[in-house]
Amino acid sequence: MAKKARVAIDRDYRIAKIDKRIYGSFIEHIGRAVYGGIYEPGHPLSDDQGFRKDVITLTRELDVPIVRYPGGNFVSGYDWEDGVGPREKRPRRAELAWFAVETNQVGTDDFAEWARRAGTEVMMAVNLGTRGPDAARNLVEYCNHESGTRYSDMRIANGWRAPHGIKVWCLGNEMDGPWQIGHKTAEEYGRTAAEAARVMKMMDPTIELVACGSSGPSMPTYPAWEDEILSHTYDLVDYVSLHVYYPKKDDDLPSFLAQSCGMDEFIRTVASTCDYVKAKRRSKKTMYLSFDEWNVWYHALASNGKSPRWQTAPAFNEDIYTFEDALLVGSMLITLLRNADRVRMACIAQLVNVIAPIMTANGGGAWKQTIFYPYLHASRYGRGTAMRLAVDGPTYDCRGFERVPALDAVAVEDEEGQALTFFAVNRDVDDPLDVEISLRDYLGYSVVEHIVLDHPEDLLAANTVESPKRVAPRAGTEWKMDGTTLRVRMPRLSWNVVRLAKKRET
């Protein structure tokens, strides 16, 4: 028997205009993300630069607006100069973040060119682990200065006449983590980040900067870390970062799906800490958030420890995502949209092969993982203004959370005010939800389509190279429009996209 839920939407209750960069992603030099992922010279589908055109096509299908690069933990031991100039002269390095051999066949210029071909922008991270402000400002000069200086002329000599024009820069990565090369205390990082920010913006005042926030809400220094580092950097940076990954424990599906509630709490706490620093400084500036690493991650962890060291592009962190994972990814996207007033950028980590929506086979094809679909739908239909919903429906208690809504939902009104899209996850493990949506402010709208992603036969179903379409969206048919009331049946454990458009007058 179906359970019931009611949703009301009011045009006056807007959360914020959505920054398209909320649908960003991430490429790090780890495993097969770069080599065998975006870059595989000699592959039948590689272009003149060795970039896989099938991966570029899928990236364009997702309409990824920005991609963080080159890390991640990798960046804290990276000398950017190793990755520029003639490929045959680039050094092979022992890479200590992931204990691999880095060939440096892809570097700054190459990735900027890949981004152009993939129709996306670059979010560049600088090394504040083993290096500091000097190397950071030199990289800004290399990437963004026109000509006539040491590093801009080096770029030109390397074959890139026009500047790359990279506008978003991360000041290091997860510097609160003891696993990080060059790990720092909050005081040490805050001072280093402030000095790096100062000289980077001297070099190019138009750039935006992201300071490293806590690596996750479980860190013992959270959220005191944000307070301390922002006390140094508040006037110099534009965003503070958040990172989180969610596992599944003890086959507890209700608790697994409820973890996006923790993501919402994480965002609220960091935003509150930012506002505390704002108040302390008597500032009028609002600090925004960059959730530049997020995903589900647990499948490959056991095998990672068995991976041999000092290999080049070994298979590493290659989670094969199940249908269940797609549901949590959907709820995490909904959470980001519900917090669009503070979260301006976000990066699903990562894009290809390493905990990623896109998978490839070396020398073979590329395919879509289950998590590809909620990411695709949100990126495609979630542009415009996020709308605050009033949701009344069943809830459940589980490990770590109480009163978890069975219906997790948000709506987006498009930029022209002519279309409205509801994104929803039915978390109920047993029953469908009959959802009644009051559309009183949207007179004259009709349903364009109802997209459903479900897999009642096997919740652990996954897409593989042998069965790339085992889990895929379908058209929903159980809906009815009655004036300004829309009734939709959402299957148990399902991701739903309900698209409406205003009827054109004839």
Residues marked as catalytic: 174, 293
Picking from 197, 40, 174, 49, the residue whose alpha carbon sits closest to that of residue 115 is 49
Helices 108-118 and 53-62, axial angle in degrees (round to 10): 60
Residue 356 burial class via C-beta count within 10 angstroms: exposed 0-12, middle 13-18, buried 19 and up: buried
Contact criterion met (CB below 8 Å) for 31 and 73: no
Query: Residue 139: helix, strand or coil by DSSP?
Result: helix
Contacts of 103 (CB under 8 A, 6+ apart): 35, 90, 92, 312
What beta strand segments (E) does 414-464 contain?
419-426, 433-438, 445-453
For the record, the structure tokens of 355 come out as 């905990």
| Amino acid (1-letter code) at residue 333 | L
For the record, the structure tokens of 420 come out as 């409205």
CA distances from 437 to 245, 254, 409, 453 (A): 32, 25, 11, 20
**CA pair distance 170, 348, nearest whole angstrom:** 16
CA-only gyration radius of the chain, Å: 23
β-bridge mates for residue 468, sequence order: none
**CA pair distance 201, 167, nearest whole angstrom:** 11
**CA pair distance 320, 374, nearest whole angstrom:** 16
Contact criterion met (CB below 8 Å) for 4 and 433: yes
CA distances from 396 to 108, 254, 255, 451, 456 (A): 48, 8, 10, 25, 21
Query: Residue 179: helix, strand or coil by DSSP?
Result: coil
Query: Residue 432: helix, strand or coil by DSSP?
Result: coil
